[in-house]
Amino acid sequence: MADYLVIVESPAKAKTIGKYLGKRYTVKASMGHVRDLPKSQLGVDVEHDFTPHYITIRGKGDVIKELREAGKKVKRVFLAADPDREGEAIAWHLANILDLDPSLPCRVEFHEITKDAVKDAFQHPRAMDMDLIMAQQTRRILDRLVGYRLSPLLWRKVKKGLSAGRVQSVAVRLIVDREREIRAFQPEEYWTVDAAFQLPEGRFQARFTGYDGEKTPLPSRADAEQLLEHVSGEVFRVREIKRSERRRNPSPPFITSSLQQEAARKLGFRAYRTMAIAQQLYEGLDLPDEGTVGLITYMRTDSTRVSEIAQAEARDVISNRYGTQYVPSTPRTYPTKGNAQDAHECIRPTSVRRDPEQLKAHLSKDQYRLYKLIWERFLASQMSAAVLDTTTVDITAGRAWFRANGSIVKFQGFMAVYTEGKDDADEDDERRLLPPLTASQELPQPALTPEQHFTQPPPRFSESSLVKEMEERGIGRPSTYAPTIETILKRGYVVLDQRRFMPTELGEIVVDLLVNNFPQLIDVDFTAHMEQELDLVEEGRVDSIQLLDAFYRQLEQDLERAEKTLEHVHIEDEVSDVQCEKCGRMMVYKHGRYGKFLACPGFPECRNTKPIVKDVGVACPQCGKALVERKGKRKTFYGCSGYPDCEYVLWNRPTGSLCPECGHPMVEKRTRGEVKVICSNEAAHGGVVASGAKREASRASSDRRKRSGAGSAAQRAPGDGPSRAVRKSAKSS
C-alpha cells in the first residue's frame, strides 16, 4: 500500500510524475477545478466582505469521493497543481475538501516535469501561499460581479445571451477602435521615384530622398514629373559611401505572450491551440528509452529568466554543433518586465539536448512544430550576436539626392538557428547586396520609375498583434489571452476574416453601450491599473476587500443610472437574396466564430443554415464549374461549387491565373511568412499534391456531412467550434 497521495490536475501529468515517484506514491488527477461559484446565482455575499459561496462543480462528485477515499489510506497528501494562481487555488480547494491544514507543508511546486525537478520538489514541500490564493479569488469575484450584474442589463436592453467581462469587453473595444480608425482614415497620395543602375558588376536600385541633402516628399504626380525633368541629362555620381558593422542580438526566450504571437506568425496556430499543445509538451509524452517525460518548462509565464544549468547545457550544445565562435563570452540574460511574475523560468526545452529531429517520429505534427519553435528560439537566445556589414550609398544628380541601402550577413551567429517573425511585412534590406562602388564614381544613366502610392490605414489586429497589444497595455495576464479571444469570438462580438479581427455590428453596439454607461469598466488604463492592483494583492500589499468594495460601489452606481436612461436597442438581421429551400423564407445573415453565415429566420421551427460562398474567379480543373471560398473548421478552403458531385479542393488561395504548363490554378503558398506562387497540381511537376488533395477533399466532405445533421438548441455557424483534438487537449489541461 502506498504511503503518500499526490493530486495533480490532469491524467497525463499524473502518469508522468507517477513514473518518477515510485510505488510509495499514488498519483491521482482532480481533472482541474473541483469547486467554483454557482452558475445559477451571483454566489458572492456583497454585504459580508464579498464572501464567496463555493459549490462542487457538477460532475466532480465521483472524483472528490475517490480522492477522499484515497486520502484516508495514506500517511500524507501532497497537492501538486500547476505553479500559478489557478494552480494554487485548485490546491486550496482540494485542501478544504480533504480537510488538510493549508498552513502545513502540503503544497509541492515544480516548473518542469522531469525526474530531477519532481524529486527535488518533493524534498521541499511548502505551506499554501494565501496571498496568491487571495489574488485568484479576488480576480474571480471581480469577474463574477461584472458578468452577473452587467450581463442581465445587456439581455434586457440589447439581446439575450450577451455577456460583458472585465477583460473581454476591453479587448473588443481595442478591435472596435481600430476598425473605426481604419474607416476614418483619409489616404494621402505620395510618389516615389526609383533609379535602377546596371553596372558590369551587377544591378542595384536607389530611391529619391530629397534635394540639396534635405529630405523632400513627392506628394503629387507633378512633383514626380518635376524631379524627372530636373535629373534629365544630369550626371549621376556617387557622392558618399558609408559602411558600418552592425551587431544584431537574438530575441529573448519565449514567455506565454511571445510564444502565442510567434506560433501565430510562423505556424498559423490560434492562441488556444498553441496553449493546448504546449500543455501536452509540458505534462509529458512517451519517448523511447526515457519513458514519459515533460519536454518543455511551464508554459504560463511572463519571465525570461533561465536557470544556470539550462544556460550551461545550451552553451555546450551550441559549441559542439556550431563551434565556439557561436558561444558568447558570458551567458545571455534578459531583463524581465516590471510587472512580470519571476517565479517561473522562460518557456524552454527541459533539455536542449533533445533535438526536435530526434523526437519527430514520436510527436504529432503539431507537437513537433511547436517543440521545434521553442527549441530553436531558446537555443538562439543563448548564441552570439549576428554581424552584418551595412552600406549606405548617396547618389546625386544635379540637386537631387538618391539613396541605396544594402547589407550582407558577415557572421550568422544566432541567425544560423532562428530569426523572429513579423506581424506585417516590412521591407528588409539585410540580404540586399550592392555592387562595389567608390566615392565620386560616375554611374550610367539609370532607368527611372515613378510610382504612385497612398498612405495606408493601420492594419486590423491579427491574433498575434492583438496579444501583443494586450500585453503592452497591461490588459489581462498571460494565462487569460487565449480564453479571452475565444470568448469574444464565441459571443459574436468579433469575427476572423483572413486571420484578422473585425467587429460585428453587435460588438460595436455593445462597446458603445458600455463606453456611454460604464466608462470606467471599459477604460483600457483602468483595466490595466486593476491588473496591477491584483498583483499587489498577490504580494500582500493591497487589501482585497477594499479593492472589491471600491469597484463594486462604482459598478452599482453605473448600473442604477443605466437602468433609468438606457433605451432598448433592436438589432435587425440583414436579409439576403437566398431563399430557404426548406420553408421558403428569405435567409438572413448571422455571425458565428468563423464569420458570417446564412440562417433561416424561422428558427427554432426551421434550423436550416448555409455557408456563404464566394466565387474566386477560377474554374474547377476537373469539372469546369466555379471554385468557391468556404469556411472550414480549421481554415478557409476553396472547393468546387459542384459538390458533392465533384470533390475538388484547394487549401491554398488561388491567384486567379492558370498554370501555363498544365492549366491547373496557380495558388499562394505560405512558408515561414514568405508567399510563393506555385501550381496547385504539384504532381504534374514532380510533387505529391494528388494524395494531399484527396485527403483535404475527404476532410471537407466529412465536415459538410457533420453540418448537415440535426440542429442544436441554438443556431450555429457551419463548422463552429474548435477541432475535437484541440477540445480534448484543452479539457485535459
Active site positions, annotated = 298
Q: Are 273 and 722 in contact (CB under 8 A)?
A: yes
Please state, in angstroms and rounded to a whole number, the distance separating the CA atoms of residues 665 and 617.
Answer: 10
C-alpha cell at 253: 526566450
Please state, in angstroms and rounded to a whole number, the distance separating the CA atoms of residues 116 and 20.
Answer: 9
Phi, psi of 596, deg, nearest 5: -75, 150
Helix (H, G, I), strand (E, B) or coil at 613: coil
Amino acid at 346: C
Instruction: Indicate the Cα dihedral angle 11, 13, 18, 20, nearest 10°.
Output: 160
Question: SS3 sequence, 161-213?
Answer: CCCCCCCHHHHHHHHHHHHHHHHHCCCCEEEEEEEEEEECCEEEEEEEEEECC
Amino acid at 405: N
Bridge partner list, 289:
none
Please state, in angstroms and rounded to a whole number, the distance separating the CA atoms of residues 304 and 255.
Answer: 6
Q: Are 402 and 192 in contact (CB under 8 A)?
A: no
Q: Are 485 and 491 in contact (CB under 8 A)?
A: no
Phi, psi of 447, deg, nearest 5: -85, 120
- Residue 664, Cβ density class (10 Å: 0-12 exposed, 13-18 middle, ≥19 buried): buried
Amino acid at 715: Q
Q: Name all contacts of 12-17 with Cβ < 8 Å and 24+ positions apart.
A: 12/280, 12/283, 12/284, 12/732, 13/113, 13/283, 13/284, 15/284, 15/292, 16/113, 16/283, 16/284, 16/292, 16/293, 16/294, 17/80, 17/113, 17/118, 17/284
CA-closest candidate to residue 502, choices 494, 510, 490: 494
Q: What is the DSSP string of 361-386?
A: GGS-HHHHHHHHHHHHHHHHHTSPPE
Helix (H, G, I), strand (E, B) or coil at 86: helix
Element of type H or E holding 409: strand 400-411
Please state, in angstroms and rounded to a whole number, the distance separating the CA atoms of residues 3 and 585.
Answer: 68
C-alpha cell at 38: 454557482
Please state, as a whole number, how many other Cβ atoms lie within 10 Å of the Cβ of residue 716: 18
C-alpha cell at 508: 460595436
Edge-first strand order for the sheet with 4-8 is: 25-29, 4-8, 76-79
CA-closest candidate to residue 723, choices 635, 611, 628, 639: 635
At CA 572, angle to CA 570 and CA 573, rounded to 5? 145
Q: 553596372: which residue's cell?
A: 199
Alpha-carbon distances of 187 from 219, 425, 457, rounded to whole Å: 12, 20, 7
C-alpha cell at 730: 484543452
